[in-house]
Structure 1
Amino acid sequence: MAFADVVLARLAELGLNVNQAEARAGLPQGYIRGVIREDEKRAIPNIDKATKIADALGLELYFGPPRDHQPVNIVPPKDDDFAKIPLHEATLSAGNGYVNGDDIVVGTLAFRRDWLKKLGVSASRARVARVHGDSMAPTLSDGDMILIDTSKTDVLARSKSSRRKAPPIYAFVEDGVARVKRIELVDADFFAVMSDNPEFKTEFKRLATISSMRIIGKVLWWGHTSTE
């Protein structure tokens, strides 16, 4: 289709004549008319003029590699397929201590219900928060989001046979500081609070102190945040 034909079709679509279109766009009189004339005086516009005419008519003038115009089949998700999990304002320290704000819900993140079911977490018991610090690197990085199952709070229930695997990660509050660490039972008297970053030492605590910690829940999933 010729440029003039596109312009004429767009004018008809907008319900405008040439004079109206030129005046509305602030173009000189005859600026558009010159490219749609039906005689030998029809002008072939250069790129600059064609662009201004296209802008005036709400058209896109594209010059570049061929573009893929194949239709994309988009199936909108059903609301029932997703659960909105609360995102808390407080961050969880992956270092030696970080003072957090109040435990306020600042938004929600949508997760597929069937995926949550595979993780074994009820949507009503799931929470999302952010990590602060690098003591759990490279597993957890500063700014990462983590999904917590608040129904799993028994940090010392792990059997000895499962110690071949890495100890689970828990979110907890200790001395008013929200933290995220691996926790593992050592023996009948002690448990360990461990970091994945070797620069941070393992903390050994007596079992009696577990009662002073508020276990938020077990970390089941995390998403890395790019800072580049």
Structure 2
Amino acid sequence: MSDDDFPFSELVSARVSELGGKVSAIEKRFDLKPDAIRNVMRTPKGAGPTLSRAKEICEALGLEFYIGRPRDLAATADEQSTGKVKPDLLDDFAFVERFDVSLSAGHGENGDNARPLAPVSFRRDWLSERGLVAEKCVVCSVRGTSMEPLLFDGDLVLLDRRRSDLRSGQVYGVVDVEGDVRIKRIEQVENGLLLRSENSEWPTELRHGEDANRVHVIGSLVWSGHNHDMSGRKASR
């Protein structure tokens, strides 16, 4: 079968598989209508989408869309001599969901109705080396100073949602008893939990008995990105 005869639906299906098979996530991320890609994948032989829809889907999947007179491949002399083609750089990265809720390092901030933001990209090999799965992680921001010098106001943090079983001394993003989202170093004590801050100015908090059972773990801290505030203003507590 020539390239011209290759069904567009099969090309789309193959590319979706390369990207992890999360069709609905791709459609949502690029503001495509629900089932825009899935309907193409279900297309019977002999039928197909309009060219404008094909262009939209190609852009969402990181594929080049081109119709016109034949053109030469823009390969370098080295690629021409070795026969090697540079891989798609997008394939080196995975996208992790990010939400607009801040994990409070001090007093809580309610996380109800958190809105998704643009996802954050991480290198696939970096994630793999740490045993992380992009779909099982989440990125949030930090608010407050109680976790300094480990975490600063405005920092981004990556949480592994699979690591929800508490291990004493680890840092976790949690939903506290009143529904506030926070980030603290958690220690288990008899019939309770201690929520510790890194900043000695902030007191240790105890969640005892039923209150301890109401603390819900979002995930364990596995990475943070520091926000360098150049404005000179002091971060709020």
* TM-score, structure 1 normalization: 0.59
Secondary structure of 2:212's counterpart equals: helix
The equivalent position to 1:173 in structure 2, one of 169, 172, 175, is 175
Q: 1:150-161 maps to which residues of 2 (within 5 A)?
A: 150-155=161-166, 157-158=167-168
Output the CA distance in 1 between the equivalents of 2:133 and 2:200.
Answer: 34
The equivalent position to 1:213 in structure 2, one of 212, 215, 236, is 215
Output the CA distance in 1 between the equivalents of 2:103 and 2:203.
Answer: 18
Unaligned runs of 5+ in 1: 1-74, 159-166
The equivalent position to 1:190 in structure 2, one of 189, 192, 203, is 192
Secondary structure of 1:124's counterpart equals: helix
Cα distance change, pair 207–115 in 1 and its aligned pair in 2 (3 A): farther
Cα distance change, pair 76–101 in 1 and its aligned pair in 2 (3 A): farther
1:90 and 2:101 are equivalent in the alignment: yes
Q: 1:21-170 maps to which residues of 2 (within 5 A)?
A: 78-100=89-111, 102-155=113-166, 157-158=167-168, 167-170=169-172
Instruction: Tell me how far 1:153 sits from its aligned partner.
Output: 0.7
Cα distance change, pair 77–142 in 1 and its aligned pair in 2 (3 A): farther
Instruction: Tell me how far 1:191 sits from its aligned partner.
Output: 2.2
Output the CA distance in 2 between the equivalents of 1:198 and 1:122.
Answer: 34
- Code of the aligned partner of 1:176: G
Output the CA distance in 2 between the equivalents of 1:208 and 1:100.
Answer: 21
Q: Give the count of matched residue pairs.
A: 144
1:60 corresponding residue in structure 2: none
Secondary structure of 1:200's counterpart equals: coil
1:199 and 2:210 are equivalent in the alignment: no
- Code of the aligned partner of 2:128: K
Output the CA distance in 2 between the equivalents of 1:222 and 1:96.
Answer: 20
Instruction: Report if the CA contact (8 A) 2:192-2:212 is conserved.
Output: no
Unaligned runs of 5+ in 2: 1-85, 231-237
Output the CA distance in 1 between the equivalents of 2:181 and 2:143.
Answer: 10
Instruction: Report if the CA contact (8 A) 1:89-1:101 is conserved.
Output: no
Secondary structure of 2:172's counterpart equals: strand
CA offsets per residue over residues 38-59 of structure 1, 9 Å max, x none?
xxxxxxxxxxxxxxxxxxxxxx
Identity level (%)? 35
CA offsets per residue over residues 144-185 of structure 1, 9 Å max, x none?
000010111111x44xxxxxxxx2110011112110000011
The Cα RMSD (Å) is 1.8
CA offsets per residue over residues 106-133 of structure 1, 9 Å max, x none?
1111101111122222111011010010
CA offsets per residue over residues 6-46 of structure 1, 9 Å max, x none?
xxxxxxxxxxxxxxxxxxxxxxxxxxxxxxxxxxxxxxxxx
Between Structure 1 and Structure 2, whose CA radius of gyration is higher? 1
Instruction: Tell me how far 1:192 sits from its aligned partner.
Output: 1.1
Instruction: Report if the CA contact (8 A) 2:127-2:133 is conserved.
Output: yes
Output the CA distance in 2 between the equivalents of 1:92 and 1:192.
Answer: 17
Instruction: Report if the CA contact (8 A) 1:93-1:133 is conserved.
Output: yes
Instruction: Tell me how far 1:101 sits from its aligned partner.
Output: 5.9
* TM-score, structure 2 normalization: 0.57
Output the CA distance in 2 between the equivalents of 1:209 and 1:153.
Answer: 17
Mean Cα deviation higher: 82-91 or 202-211: 202-211
Output the CA distance in 1 between the equivalents of 2:141 and 2:119.
Answer: 13
